[in-house]
Structure 1
Amino acid sequence: MRILLAAIYPYAFLLLYLIIPFDNYIRALPNILLIILVVAFPLIVKKEDFKKMKSLPIAVFLALFAYLCINSFLGGRFLEDYNIIKKVMIAVGLAILYIPVSEAKPTADEIGKIKGAIILSSLAAIIFSVYNFVLITHNTGSFALGDSPQVVESLLIDRLYLGLLSTFSILVSFQSIKKQYHPNNNYHLANIVINLVFIILIASKIAGISLLVLLLLKQFYGQRKIWKMVLASGAIIAVIGMFFLLKNESDNIYNSDAKANTIVPIIENTRTFELRAIVWQCAAKIIDDEGFSLTGNGFATTNDKLVSCYEAEIPNLEKRDVFIAKEYNTHNQFLDFYLSAGFIALLLFLGFIVVTFLSVRKHFLPTAMLAILVMYCLVENVFHRQIGAYYIGFILIIIMTSVSALENNDIKET
């Protein structure tokens, strides 16, 4: 029985990451796979496997999860906050469930078969989205890319998470390309081009910024050459330029003209920077009104306070109704931890980031994943969506396997 489970277990794990974007269409399957993994885990895991978890970053993340549980329980709001705490548990749980899958000697640029699942998952999501776009274009008789409602409606999952998946796929393929000729290099190069073009076509700003930052980050690894410094300078200019472009979109955010009733919800959901600017101003107002918070208000209460702020601060009636109906959260994981679980939670989360950086800073792949985590946490509450928890779990897996490899001196600097 154990041999059979050990043979099935890795494929169940990889299938989970392959089908994550299709959660809305096959909602039961990811949960079934998680149940299979949880049940099989104690039967196939070996004592020595747990050595892979002996890393300070994972310990700090576990401390964050434990604190969220204890703080919520002592505050009498565990049931209200359980939906968010459960997603933090999923992220760290996936890292734990992965340890029987990872190789005996993991390396930072070789993360096992899960990288193939990420690449295939991204390509499948792109194909599905493009197919939907063609159908919508045919039915409407119009063609528009970027922030158009056609693109928003055709995407398999939210643009932010689809951009995140494509960024993962590009990074994994980039790290898999060999310096010497290898037949797989062509496939990885094609995958990079496909995902890059798709990110541009759907106008995923955060994915574009993330890739520019990773391009800049890569210049600090390997041999230092003049062309790398020129490329880094270009990346910095591009990031600064994109920042000011986005900043200009936020002018007069409270007083912009209302859109037609039939398209207000769609348009508001695509004007992502404007949405976040309003939410962040309300979050800042809550912080100013309440002052320093050690333990926070709870995740549910924080959302209630944000809704009250929307009611009081947004003069545009149609826009106010959209924000209240959608009950938009803080769209910033750092703000969310501070407002909901207090300074201690924020400190633990920042501690996890700092400790991880100090542990893996000499190696590109785990450092790049940490950079992606920080950038997406700046614009999204990643633990408010199950898909976000899955992908944070993927980042934790790479960090865990990388730290384990570093301790075994199996990684060569790249």
Structure 2
Amino acid sequence: MYCFLLGVVLLLIASSYSILSETLYNENFSLAVGDINPVLLGDRPYVGFTYTIAFFICLFLASKTNNKLESALMVVLSLVLVSFLFLIAARTSLLSIVLAGILSIFYIKNIKLKLFVLLSIFVSGLSLILFNQNFKSRLTLGFKQKQLSFEKVIKLEPRYYIWGCVKDIVEDRSPSFFGYGFAATQEKLNLCYANSQEFNNNDQQSWFVDKKFNTHNQYLNFYLSTGVLVFLVFSITCFFCLSTNINVFFALALNVSVLLFFMVENVLSRQMGVELCVLVLLFSKAINVLNTEKESNRLTKYKIVKDRAVK
């Protein structure tokens, strides 16, 4: 875990330096729109998810260690990571942290700490919406709006049209038991982009045709490409991962985050996505093992103290 965090810190330093350089020497640079992947040293959703994993690992290590200095360092690093996610407006990653914060209420026993977590979520969410210009610009793809409405935000989101095409494909002919296949699914999507009447204008439609967007949803991708059987196996596997980690908060938070990530990206279609999923599985197992050892040591100490008291 510490080696992973070291790699994340180095990535964070390199990305911060690149952002600072671009901000100082490039007047047209924007973190909200455009190709910022070279600056982040990776695709924003995947880099953001890497920082999300590191955020939960930091908090876990802070709660596990008895070393006050180490605990303080882990907390500070977690705050730096979430601040960077705010800066780059990594929407899915921030949503994962908010959702995990809400789930933590069911695991935290201290009432004051519960209230602090809820207040932190509320203040952070409000700050993100009201004061984070990068986040606002990402909602509109950089197009300035006189009046921003929920309908405008939805219709400026690419997934609105992508998932609309998925709906049209399924309604036209549901995938067979074994699906269309990955290549055929992409061809159907490309054809839908070319023929759809839902786009705001021709430029937007041409952009979709040129980009050839995939389903941007791992569940839909498996359903269309591999059929009902693989979709069910994948869904059951996801449920199994949740159920086996439900008693340990940080392991659950990691799994909830990756399942949420599956809802907006074809994560397993990319090598980095597969690697991140493997890390989530490994870290979840490690957290469970360490948590069990800590609980076992606590019970052992309690038993020793109790036996001495009886004697």
Tell me the TM-score range normalised by the shorter chain.
0.7 to 0.9
Distance 1:351 1:226, change over 3 A: same
2:193 to 297, 310, 314: 310
Looking at structure 2, the residues matched to 341 and 376 of structure 1 have their Cα atoms a distance apart, in angstroms, of 20
Partner of 1:136: 22
Q: TM-score, normalised by structure 1?
A: 0.60
Distance 1:306 1:233, change over 3 A: farther
Distance 1:149 1:249, change over 3 A: farther
Partner of 1:266: none
Secondary structure of the 1:412 match is helix
- Structure 1 regions of 5+ residues with no counterpart? 1-114, 255-272
Asked if the contact 2:216/2:264 (under 8 Å) is kept, the reply is yes
Partner of 1:166: 51
1:397 to 282, 287, 291: 282
1:187-211 deviation per Cα after TM superposition (whole angstroms, max 9, x unaligned) = 2122112211111111111111111
1:358 to 233, 243, 254: 243
Partner of 1:251: 152
Distance 1:199 1:344, change over 3 A: same
Partner of 1:200: 86
Distance 1:239 1:290, change over 3 A: farther
- Structure 2 regions of 5+ residues with no counterpart? 130-135, 141-148, 297-311
1:94-142 deviation per Cα after TM superposition (whole angstroms, max 9, x unaligned) = xxxxxxxxxxxxxxxxxxxxx1232122222222222222332333235
1:48-103 deviation per Cα after TM superposition (whole angstroms, max 9, x unaligned) = xxxxxxxxxxxxxxxxxxxxxxxxxxxxxxxxxxxxxxxxxxxxxxxxxxxxxxxx
Secondary structure of the 2:295 match is coil
Matches within 5 A, 1:26-65: none
**What is the deviation of 1:285?**
1.0
Asked if the contact 1:118/1:165 (under 8 Å) is kept, the reply is no
1:321-366 deviation per Cα after TM superposition (whole angstroms, max 9, x unaligned) = 2222221100000100100111111111111122222222111122
Secondary structure of the 1:394 match is helix
Asked if the contact 1:174/1:189 (under 8 Å) is kept, the reply is yes
Secondary structure of the 1:147 match is coil
Distance 1:368 1:148, change over 3 A: same
Secondary structure of the 1:371 match is helix
Looking at structure 2, the residues matched to 335 and 398 of structure 1 have their Cα atoms a distance apart, in angstroms, of 27
1:294 to 177, 183, 194: 177
1:242-263 deviation per Cα after TM superposition (whole angstroms, max 9, x unaligned) = 7xx9695653876xxxxxxxxx
Secondary structure of the 1:352 match is helix
> 1:188 aligned to 2:83?
no
> 1:123 aligned to 2:24?
no
**Letter paired with 1:368:** A
Partner of 2:144: none
Looking at structure 1, the residues matched to 16 and 10 of structure 2 have their Cα atoms a distance apart, in angstroms, of 10
2:163 to 269, 280, 283: 280
Looking at structure 2, the residues matched to 136 and 193 of structure 1 have their Cα atoms a distance apart, in angstroms, of 24
1:333 to 215, 218, 223: 218
**What is the deviation of 1:151?**
4.6
Distance 1:383 1:147, change over 3 A: same
**What is the deviation of 1:158?**
1.1
Asked if the contact 1:133/1:150 (under 8 Å) is kept, the reply is no
Partner of 1:105: none
Partner of 2:293: 410
Secondary structure of the 1:306 match is helix
Looking at structure 2, the residues matched to 303 and 360 of structure 1 have their Cα atoms a distance apart, in angstroms, of 34
**Letter paired with 2:8:** S
Distance 1:198 1:226, change over 3 A: closer
Looking at structure 2, the residues matched to 252 and 192 of structure 1 have their Cα atoms a distance apart, in angstroms, of 30
Matches within 5 A, 1:375-386: 375-386=260-271
> 1:214 aligned to 2:117?
no
Greater relative contact order: 1 or 2 (C-alpha under 8 angstroms, separation 6 or more)?
1
**What is the deviation of 1:171?**
0.6
Partner of 2:302: none
Distance 1:391 1:280, change over 3 A: same
Looking at structure 2, the residues matched to 239 and 344 of structure 1 have their Cα atoms a distance apart, in angstroms, of 39
Distance 1:233 1:353, change over 3 A: farther
CA RMSD of aligned residues (A): 3.2
**What is the deviation of 1:274?**
0.9
1:228-248 deviation per Cα after TM superposition (whole angstroms, max 9, x unaligned) = 157448748987997xx9695
Asked if the contact 1:356/1:399 (under 8 Å) is kept, the reply is no
What percent identity do the matched residue pairs reach? Answer: 25
Q: TM-score, normalised by structure 2?
A: 0.78
Looking at structure 1, the residues matched to 164 and 35 of structure 2 have their Cα atoms a distance apart, in angstroms, of 30
**Letter paired with 1:364:** F
1:6-49 deviation per Cα after TM superposition (whole angstroms, max 9, x unaligned) = xxxxxxxxxxxxxxxxxxxxxxxxxxxxxxxxxxxxxxxxxxxx
